[in-house]
C-alpha cells in the first residue's frame, strides 16, 4: 500500500490514502488492473497532467490525467475524446479502473467498438444512412448493416481533437474539433467543444457544446464501457441497474426505432425499480446477438439536469449515478463483444464484459418528426451535460 500526499491546485496539503494493488479479492485481480489501467500505481498530485501519447494523422496525441483530492483519477486522450481509465476505490481499499481502456494509442487505432470515445456528429443510428433536411436529402455512409452508426466511417471518435487543459480547483480538459461542411456527408461546418471536469465528489461531468453554419443533425455522447468490478473477467450480468424511464423506443431487427414510445411495464425493459441485468436479459426480444441495446425515454424534463440511472455492483460496493440533460439513454449490454479484442494482458473482452449508458437524443431522430429534434440551426447553441458520479457503499 502506498501513501499518496495529494497537493491541490490551491496549494493546500492534505493526505490521501489510496491503495494501488489488488487485495486478493477475485474481483480485483492485477490482470484487470492492467486491462484497464496500470498507472494507478503512480503517485499523483491533484490537478491535470499532460503526457505525450504518440502521433496520428500528422497530429500529436496526448494523454491527460485528471486527479482529484481523494486520488480518484480519470484519463482522457485527445484521440477521439476518449476516456481511457477511471480509477476509483473499492470497499476493500483496492483501486481499479471501472471503464474499458488501453494503455497505448496503438490499441485505439484499429476499428474498435467506440471504447470510451466521444461519439458524433450523430451518436446512434440513422436509418439507411439517409435523412432529408430543408428539402434536401443527405446520404451518409452505411457502416452498420443498412444503417449509419455513430457519425460514420471516421466519426469524432477517430479524429485528433485540439486540447486545452485547465488546472482549476476541479481539473478539466476541453477538447475542440471543427467538423467540416460535408464531412461524413453531414451539412455545415460544426464547431464542437467537449469539456471533461473531475470534482472532489468523484463526479466526471461532460459538457458538450456546438455551433453550425448550416442546419445539421447533432447528437453527441460518450461511449464508455463500464464494469464496476474493475475486472473484465467478470461480466456485468450481476450489476444492478435502475433507469428512470416509463417508456422505451422498440426497434426493428437492424436496431432502428419503429417510432413507437412503448411502456416498459411488464417487460424486461422495466428498470424503474432496480433489477439485476442478467435476470431478464435472455427474454429481451430481438435479433442475434440479443441483449439490451435500446433507447429509454427518460421521465425527466429534457434540458434539466437530473439523475436518470443508477448502476451498482455489490462485491466492490461501487455505484455509478448518471445525471443528464438529455431526453434518452441507450443502455447497451456489450452484446457484440465476443472476446476477439483483448486487454493488455490478453484477457478476451467477452460478451457482456462491460456496458454502456449513452445519454443522447433518440436514434434515427432526423427521420422521426415525433421524436425530440436533433437539428441544430445557425445562430443556435447546442449544449448538453452529462455527469457520471461514483459512490461507494460499504
Ligand atoms: C452502440 C450501439 C450498439 C453497438 C455499439 C458498438 O452502443 O447501439 O449496437 O453498435 O455501439 O459496438
Evaluated on CA atoms 122, 126, 130, 131, the torsion sign reads: negative
Q: Residue 191's pLDDT band (boundaries 50, 70, 90)?
A: very high
Q: Of 295, 247, 241, 306, which Cα lies nearest the Cα of 271?
A: 241
Other Cβ atoms less than 10 A from the Cβ of 289: the count is 14
Of 281, 240, 285, give the one whose Cα is nearest residue 262: 285
Q: Is 225 a pocket residue for ligand 1 (Cβ < 6 Å)?
A: no
Query: With a 6 A CB cut-off, is 255 part of the ligand 1 pocket?
Result: yes
Ligand 1 neighbourhood includes 330 CB (under 6 angstroms): yes
Instruction: Report the separation in Å between the CA atom of 206 and the middle of ligand 1, taken as the mean of its atom positions.
Output: 20
Question: Which residue's CA is minimally distant from atom 6 of ligand 1?
Answer: 113
Q: What is the pLDDT of residue 17?
A: 25
Q: Which three cell numbers stand for residue 2?
A: 502506498
- Confidence band of 344 (pLDDT split at 50, 70, 90): confident
Q: Is the pLDDT of residue 355 over 70?
A: yes
pLDDT, one tens digit per residue, over 13-35 is 222 222 222 222 223 333 334 33
Whether domain 117-392 has CATH 2.70.98.10: yes
- Mutational test site, ligand 1, from 125, 223, 332, max ligand atoms within 8 Å of CB: 332
| Phi, psi (deg, nearest 5) at residue 13 | -100, 140
Distance between CA 33 and CA 347 in Å, rounded?
11
Task: Please tell me whether residue 51 adopts helix, strand or coil conformation.
Answer: strand
More confident residue, 210 or 7: 210
> At residue 224, does pLDDT exceed 90?
yes
Backbone angles phi, psi at 280, to 5 degrees: -125, 10
Q: Which helix (H) or strand (E) holds 133?
A: strand 130-133
Omega prior to 289 cis, within 30 of 0: yes
Whether 3 shows a pLDDT value over 70: the answer reads no
Query: Has residue 348 got a pLDDT over 50?
Result: yes
Distance 16 CA to ligand 1 centre (A): 38
Q: Which residue's CA lies nearest to atom 12 of ligand 1?
A: 113
CB-ligand 1 contact for 356 (6 Å cutoff)? yes
pLDDT of residue 7: 29
Q: Is residue 121 reached through a cis peptide bond, with omega within 30 degrees of 0 on the bond before it?
A: yes
- Measured torsion, CA atoms of residues 141, 146, 149, 155, in degrees rounded to the nearest 10: -20
**Residue whose C-alpha cell is 431522430:** 365
Residue 166 C-beta-side C-alpha neighbours within 13 Å: 13
Digit-coded pLDDT (tens) for 54-69: 999 999 999 999 999 9
Q: What is the pTM of this model?
A: 0.90
Q: How sure is the predictor about 44, in pLDDT bands with cuts at 50, 70 and 90? A: low
More confident residue, 286 or 385: 385
Cβ of 293 closer than 6 Å to ligand 1, yes or no, is yes
Q: What is the pLDDT of residue 29?
A: 34
Place of cell 439485476: 276
Q: Is 114 in the pocket of ligand 1 (CB under 6 A)?
A: yes
C-alpha cell at 391: 459512490
C-alpha–C-alpha distance, residues 323 and 242, integer Å: 12
Mutate to test the pocket of ligand 1, among 80, 113, 127, 142 (most ligand atoms within 8 A of CB): 113
Minimal-distance CA residue to ligand 1 atom 11:
113
Is the separation of the CB atoms in 170 and 279 below 8 Å? Answer: no
High-pLDDT (> 70) share of the chain, %: 89
* Non-local CB neighbours of 188 within 8 Å, separated by 6+ positions: 181, 212, 213, 214, 215, 216, 378
113 close to ligand 1 (CB < 6 Angstrom): yes
What number of CA atoms fall less than 13 Å from residue 266's CA on the CB side? 2
- Exposed e or buried b per residue across 322-340, where buried means at least 16 C-beta atoms within 10 angstroms of its C-beta: bbbbbbbbbbbbbbebeee
User: What number does the ligand 1 atom closest to the CA of 114 have?
Assistant: 6
Give the Cβ contact number of residue 379 at 10 Å. Answer: 8
In whole angstroms, give the CA distance from residue 363 to residue 355.
18
Please give the pLDDT value at position 168. 87
The 3-state DSSP class for residue 219 equals: strand
pLDDT digits (tens, 9 = 90+) for 131-168: 999 999 999 999 999 999 999 999 999 999 999 999 98
Q: Given its phi and psi angles, is residue 47 left (phi above 0), alpha (psi -120 to 50 degrees) or beta?
A: left
Mean pLDDT for 376-386 is 98
Residues classed as catalytic? 223, 358
Residue 388 has pLDDT above 60, yes or no: yes
Domain ranges in the chain are 117-392
Residue to substitute in 114, 124, 287 for testing ligand 1 pocket (most ligand atoms within 8 angstroms of CB): 114
3-state secondary structure of 382: strand
- Decide: 320 in ligand 1 pocket, CB within 6 A: no
pLDDT at 394: 82
Q: Which residue has the CA at smallest separation from atom 9 of ligand 1?
A: 293
Using the mean position of ligand 1's atoms as its centre, give its distance from the Cα of residue 256 in Å. Answer: 12
Distance CA 189, CA 231 (A): 41
pLDDT at 155: 98
Amino acid at each position: 500500500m502506498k501513501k499518496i500526499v495529494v497537493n491541490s491546485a490551491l496549494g493546500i496539503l492534505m493526505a490521501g490514502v489510496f491503495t494501488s494493488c489488488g487485495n486478493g479479492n477475485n474481483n480485483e485481480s492485477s490482470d484487470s488492473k492492467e486491462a484497464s489501467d496500470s498507472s494507478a500505481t503512480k503517485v499523483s498530485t491533484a490537478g491535470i497532467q499532460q503526457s505525450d501519447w504518440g502521433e496520428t494523422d500528422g497530429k500529436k496525441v496526448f494523454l491527460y490525467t485528471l486527479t482529484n483530492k481523494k486520488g480518484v483519477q480519470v484519463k482522457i486522450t485527445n484521440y477521439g475524446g476518449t476516456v481511457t481509465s477511471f480509477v476509483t476505490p473499492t470497499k476493500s481499499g483496492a483501486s481499479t479502473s471501472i471503464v474499458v481502456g488501453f494503455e497505448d494509442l496503438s490499441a485505439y487505432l484499429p476499428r474498435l467498438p467506440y471504447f470510451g470515445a466521444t461519439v458524433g456528429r450523430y451518436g446512434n443510428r440513422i436509418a439507411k444512412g439517409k435523412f432529408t433536411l430543408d428539402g434536401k436529402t443527405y446520404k451518409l455512409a452505411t457502416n452498420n448493416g443498412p444503417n449509419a452508426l455513430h457519425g460514420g466511417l471516421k466519426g469524432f471518435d477517430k479524429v485528433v481533437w485540439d486540447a486545452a487543459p485547465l488546472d482549476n480547483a476541479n481539473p478539466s480538459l476541453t477538447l475542440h474539433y471543427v467538423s467540416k461542411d460535408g464531412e461524413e456527408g453531414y451539412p455545415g461546418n460544426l464547431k464542437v467543444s467537449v469539456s471533461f471536469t473531475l470534482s472532489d465528489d468523484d463526479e466526471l461531468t461532460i459538457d458538450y457544446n456546438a455551433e453550425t453554419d448550416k442546419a445539421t443533425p447533432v447528437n453527441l455522447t460518450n461511449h464508455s464501457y463500464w464494469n464496476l468490478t474493475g475486472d473484465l473477467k467478470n461480466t456485468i450480468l450481476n450489476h444492478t441497474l435502475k433507469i428512470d424511464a416509463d417508456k422505451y423506443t422498440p426497434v426493428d431487427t437492424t436496431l432502428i426505432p419503429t417510432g413507437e414510445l412503448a411502456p416498459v411495464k411488464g417487460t424486461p425493459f422495466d428498470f424503474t425499480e432496480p433489477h439485476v441485468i442478467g435476470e431478464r436479459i435472455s427474454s429481451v426480444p430481438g435479433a442475434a446477438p440479443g441483449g439490451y441495446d435500446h433507447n429509454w425515454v427518460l421521465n425527466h424534463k429534457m434540458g434539466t439536469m437530473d439523475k436518470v440511472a443508477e448502476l451498482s455492483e455489490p462485491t466492490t460496493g461501487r455505484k455509478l449515478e448518471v445525471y443528464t440533460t438529455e431526453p434518452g439513454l441507450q443502455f447497451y449490454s456489450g452484446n457484440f463483444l465476443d472476446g476477439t479484442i483483448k486487454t493488455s494482458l490478453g484477457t478476451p473482452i467477452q460478451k457482456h464484459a462491460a456496458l454502456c449508458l449513452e445519454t443522447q437524443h433518440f436514434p434515427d431522430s432526423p427521420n422521426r418528426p415525433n421524436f425530440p429534434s436533433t437539428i441544430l440551426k445557425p445562430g443556435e447553441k447546442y449544449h448538453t451535460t452529462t455527469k457520471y458520479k461514483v459512490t461507494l457503499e460499504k
